[in-house]
Structure 1
Amino acid sequence: MPLRIAVDLVFYTGRKGGTESYARGLFPVLAAAHDDFRFVGIGNRELAEQPPEWFPGEIVPLPVSGENRAAWAAAVALAVGPRARSLGADLLHCPSNFGPAVRLLPTVVTVHDILGTRHPEWVQGRLARGVQALTKATVRAADRIITDSQASADDVHELLGRPMADIDVIHLGVKPVDVLARSGERAGRPYVLAGGNRMRHKNFDGLLEAWALIPAAERPKLVITGSHGDDPLRPVVERLGLGGDVELREWVSADELAALYDGASAYAFPTLFEGFGLPVLEAMARGCPVIGSDIPVLHEVGGDDMAYFDPRDPAAIATAVRKVVGDPDAQAAMAAAGRKRAETFTWQRTADATAEVYRSMARTTARTR
């Protein structure tokens, strides 16, 4: 009989970035490539009204909004497990960091990162304590943990005490993209693309300080996407006198983002902490050279095919940007190498490894009955 797998989708709104990219990339491929699984999603009010086309199964909603972080986190901790059991699921997969506080059925949780535990100073106010408590309960209760990187696995082991034998490191994937090879100068004023939420660890303040250090005559435009509402970076841009050099954009569509990648001289990723760094692969897949932080997790993703800088040193960031943006030949070489590297990170590989986790858990459950 096929395994019936319940998937927590209470968090999903379509506007949360990497965790949602993971869900959209993983589950369609899992269902298409492995016919021994049947999926049911446990969703929120928004998904009940508009079920996502990419999910390979029925959506059974809980009466909470995915826009309310406290509500959906509480639902994951307390309600998703009972609902999965009532649906007759053989296994529950929670793909967005958090899972049930109490195990009611075999459960695997994908822990993309434990930012709130490693760096609670970067999580706002009382939210930090809640995130820490739920992360600890999640990791304790789950049968298995999937992490996107060895760096995240090391954090889960070191800070939360979960044995490495209980953790499966499964890198994320990226869809292959047909784009023209880059060559020569790009038309118009060159620009560098960056994107992400405005949490402190994304280090956009440091990137803007670096921009102010680039001589005006050779300063490229900087386009930063991903804000919601009033952008907290706007006062920083004004203070640094960069109003004519920086464009702050809200959340952009997939098509808009693709066009921005295609036109950019480089993608800048000045992060101080990540669980993986999916934007690095997304940029590489589109042939956009990547300039990013010299931190261990990005070496897992970018290898030798991106340029690195010290993210805490604006002068070092400025130097790296000037070097890449000022050298079209280097851009073309980095673009070609990056595309080749991105081709090795496929959702098929991610899905196959995840399927083996499911089957291993099923075998373990069968032996203990």
Structure 2
Amino acid sequence: MESYVRQLYPEIAKQRPNWRLVALVSQETNLDLISWFPGEIVQMKIQNKSPFRWAFGEIISVNRFAKKIEANLIHSPANIGPIWGRTAVVLTLQDLLSFEKPQLFGQLTGVFLRTLIRMSANHAKSILTISQFSKLSIEKHLSPTKKKIKVSELAGGRVSNTPKKDNFSNQNRAKAQLLSGGNRLPHKNFEKLIQSLALIPEPERPLLVITGGSDNDPLAKLVTELALESYVELKSWIPQEQIEELYADSTIYVFPTLFEGFGLPILEAMSRGCPVICSDIPVLREVGGEAAIYVDTNSPAELAKVITQTLRDTSTLDVLASRGIQRASEFTWERTAEKTITVFEECLPNQEFGLLRNEGH
């Protein structure tokens, strides 16, 4: 979600400079980290420490503030939004993970989230989502909202200073490196990726870097059990500059996820010329097209086989890098903003004036 708002709102401001944008954020938000926002930033008296408090803020406090400043429109970018009030709401449903994978949530939390999402979707004047896959999921679980759903795909971003890695046969690498990243929720499936690494013979075994963890990374235990400490580096969330260095140093980006609303990481890797191996699931095929290698990531043996074969074949790496760059160029944040603005303007009471009061975290 962070990439979504960080890229989308500045582009909206560029295309509609007469709109006034206001971001509502929680008390804990470090304002320096959202200095990119192209408008006013208001810290609400809402704590983000628990999902219940955050949800309360989304459904109650946002609408009250919108009424106070006479906002024309509220955009809720993270699945939950106001469930009452006269101010028009555009709700972005990134995915319906709590519906599609209810086993990942505690019973009470799952019921709570699903109820709030249903209520938010029913109240919203229009719903945005980020892929055709997610649109179908929403139609399946929230069927009354079919007529309001519009798709606005994400994009991989622009990286002007990163060299395109489209000639792997000429690279002199002491050791191949795999890159992956994401939170440590079970559906991200990093355990199978680590297990696959252990199945690759040592002479051909690449290094593996997984970003997005924490100080007490739950993957560390498995790395130790498989004696892979010399091959696996677990990193927390890191600055963008370091991410770019990792892309430049990595031979393949591996994305073993079992569920996504879009699959932005593979598009971001492709935009840097980094070949992609990912899970064979519908949404990743929608995003990656013919520019990735798809594999059953539930099978460590199959994943290890595909990684090994791909690392051996530099011509395949060259083709994947070239196709990836082309594929990523088909998705732009300009187009994402254009589609989003179209939905906003359909909901705005005065399209000529175009005042937008925006909500985001």
Give the TM-score normalised by structure 2: 0.91
Cα deviation 1:48-97 (Å, max 9, x = unaligned): 75472221211122112344433222200221111112111111000111
Maintained 8 Å contact 2:92/2:128: yes
**Which residue identity is paired with 1:275?**
G
User: Which string of whole-angstrom CA distances, capped at 9 and with x for unpartnered residues, describes residues 120-141 of structure 1?
Assistant: 1113564323222221221121
Conservation of the 8 A alpha-carbon contact between 1:44 and 1:61: yes
Deviation at 1:201?
A: 0.4
2:250 alignment counterpart: 264
Displacement of 1:249 in angstroms is 1.0
Between 1:328-337 and 1:276-285, the stretch displaced more is: 328-337
1:113 maps to a residue whose letter is D
**Contact kept in structure 1, 2:121 and 2:145, CA below 8 Å:** no
The alignment status of 1:200 with 2:186, answered yes or no, reads yes
Q: For structure 1, which segment, 200-209 or 180-189, has the greater mean C-alpha deviation from structure 2 after superposition?
A: 180-189
Aligned AA for 1:274? E
Give distance in 1, aligned partners of 2:298 and 2:350.
46
For 1:155, the equivalent position in structure 2 comes to 137
* Offset at residue 185 of structure 1 (A): 3.0
Give the structure 2 partner of residue 72 of structure 1. Answer: 54
Could you tell me how far apart the structure 1 residues matched to 2:80 and 2:262 are? 17
Structure 2 counterpart of 1:224, which letter?
A: I
1:15 is matched with which residue? Answer: none
Match of residue 221 from structure 1:
207
Tell me the alpha carbon deviations over residues 232-263 of structure 1, each in whole angstroms, 9 at most, x when there is no partner. Answer: 00111122222222111111110111100111
Q: Which residue identity does 1:187 align to in structure 2?
A: R
Check the 8 A contact 1:173/1:346 in 2, yes or no. Answer: yes
Name the counterpart of 1:180.
163
Distance 1:260 1:327 in 2: 21
Count the aligned residue pairs.
348
| Structure 1 stretches of at least 4 aligned residues deviating more than 6 Å after TM superposition | none
The residue aligned with 1:52 is: 34
> Which piece of structure 1 moves more, 48-57 or 253-262?
48-57
Q: Is 1:328 matched with 2:314?
A: yes
Q: CA deviation at 1:363?
A: 5.8
Q: Which amino acid aligns with 2:185?
A: M
Corresponding residue to 2:83 among 94, 97, 101: 101
Task: Choose 81-90 or 63-72, whichever is displaced more.
Answer: 63-72
Question: Is this contact kept in 2: 1:76–1:100, CA < 8 A?
Answer: yes
Q: What corresponds to 2:72 in structure 1?
A: 90
Q: Distance in 1 between matches of 2:240 and 2:183?
A: 16
Query: Do structure 1's residue 26 and structure 2's residue 8 form an aligned pair?
Result: yes
**1:164 aligns to what SS in structure 2?**
helix
CA distance in 2: counterparts of 1:57 and 1:92, whole angstroms: 14
Root-mean-square deviation over aligned CA pairs = 1.9
Matching residue of 1:313: 299
Distance 2:172 2:314 in 1: 8
Counterpart CA distance in 1 for 2:164 and 2:73 is: 44
**Helix, strand or coil for the counterpart of 2:23?**
strand
Query: Counterparts of 2:229 and 2:5 in 1: how far apart (Å)?
Result: 37
Specify the SS of the correspondent of 1:107: strand
- The C-alpha deviation readout for 1:153-175, integer Å capped at 9, x for no partner, is 11111012234321001101222
Provide the residue aligned with 2:195 in structure 1. Answer: 209
Which deviates more, 288-297 or 58-67?
58-67
Counterpart secondary structure, 1:338: helix
Structure scoring higher RCO (CA < 8 A, sep ≥ 6) equals 2
Deviation at 1:202, TM superposition (A): 0.2
Paired residue for 1:357, among 331, 335, 343?
Answer: 343
1:113 and 2:117 matched: no
Over 3 Å counting, the alpha-carbon distance change for 1:29 and 1:190 in structure 2 is same
CA pair 227-253 structure 1, distance change in 2 beyond 3 A: same
Q: For the residues of structure 2 that align with 1:357 and 1:103, how far apart are their CA atoms?
A: 19
Percent identity, please: 37
Shifted more, 270-279 versus 214-223: the winner is 214-223
Question: Alignment partner for residue 225 of structure 2, among 224, 239, 253?
Answer: 239
Q: Does 2:123 match 1:141?
A: yes
Counterpart amino acid of residue 318 in structure 2: A
Deviation at 1:204, TM superposition (A): 0.5
Query: Which structure 2 segments of 5+ residues have no match?
Result: 353-361
User: Structure 1: any 5+ residue segments left out of the alignment?
Assistant: 1-18
The alignment partner of 2:34 has SS state of: coil
Counterpart of 1:7? none
**Inter-partner Cα distance in structure 1 for 2:350 and 2:310:** 51
Q: 1:299 aligns with which of 244, 260, 285?
A: 285
